[in-house]
Amino acid sequence: AQTVTQSQPEMSVQEAETVTLSCTYDTSESNYYLFWYKQPPSRQMILVIRQEAYKQQNATENRFSVNFQKAAKSFSLKISDSQLGDTAMYFCALWFAQGGSEKLVFGKGTKLTVNP
Amino acid sequence: KAGVTQTPRYLIKTRGQQVTLSCSPISGHRSVSWYQQTPGQGLQFLFEYFSETQRNKGNFPGRFSGRQFSNSRSEMNVSTLELGDSALYLCASSAREDTQYFGPGTRLTVL
């Protein structure tokens, strides 16, 4: 079974500091993608960053970067220079194709609070 | 481009009733997926439609159904509502196979 585990239910960080959110996954597929989504209190789910499993280079999007460790099946998100607007639920997700269909599996999420 | 839109944003129903939720994908996106989000179960996949065909289905009872129209708009129907169906229902659309973009959701409350 394909699973995604986020071991940190809640985290907090001071404004302007750096924080890392953890995610581990399990899949038997060789072709897959990994995502981090952000869901602020307004509830709109927003794509933060995308990583192709076949690429060794870690994806970056401005202040957001990932540490993708394929052998360890680890996919952590680093947020640099944290801002108050980064306060949200963060979901790690695994996309894979199997048996002619495609699936996106989510972790339980990490609630991040950025304190002023 | 306009994002994914969902209507209505909020719904209150009573047990036993049925409800229909609507989702309009991003222009050009042909795949639409539906998810149920609750505090206890997190995000659970309901089904996915592509070119008017259901391509994938999650582990939900038959009371949950959906369809997709030729313009890629999708509807989700829940019949014989139960208290446990109270949730945020999210719709997501995608153009490429892997990246999904989400709408704001419909908050359904069943009394």
pLDDT tens string A11-36: 999 999 999 999 999 998 888 999 99
Mean pLDDT of chain B: 94
pLDDT grade, residue A56 (50/70/90)? confident
Mean pLDDT of chain A: 94
Is it the case that residue B28 has pLDDT exceeding 80? Answer: yes
Q: Does residue B25 contact residue B4 with C-beta atoms inside 8 Å?
A: yes
Q: What is the mean pLDDT of residues B36-47?
A: 92
Query: Is B102–A33 a contact, with Cβ atoms under 8 angstroms apart?
Result: no
DSSP, collapsed to helix, strand or coil, labels residue A109 as coil
Show the CA angle centred on residue A75, arms to residues B5 and A106, nearest 5°.
40
Query: Is B99–A47 a contact, with Cβ atoms under 8 angstroms apart?
Result: yes
pLDDT of residue B110: 97
Q: What is the mean pLDDT of residues A82-102?
A: 90
Q: Which of the residues B9, B91, B100, B101 would you substitute to probe the A interface, choosing the one with the greatest number of A C-beta atoms within 10 Å?
A: B100
pLDDT of residue A69: 96
Is it the case that residue B97 has pLDDT exceeding 80? Answer: no
C-alpha neighbours within 13 Å on the C-beta side of residue B56: 21
pLDDT of residue A8: 96
Q: Exposed, middle or buried by CB within 10 Å (0-12, 13-18, 19+), for B65?
A: middle
Our CA-based measurement puts residue A43 at a distance from the nearest CA of chain B, in whole angstroms, of: 6
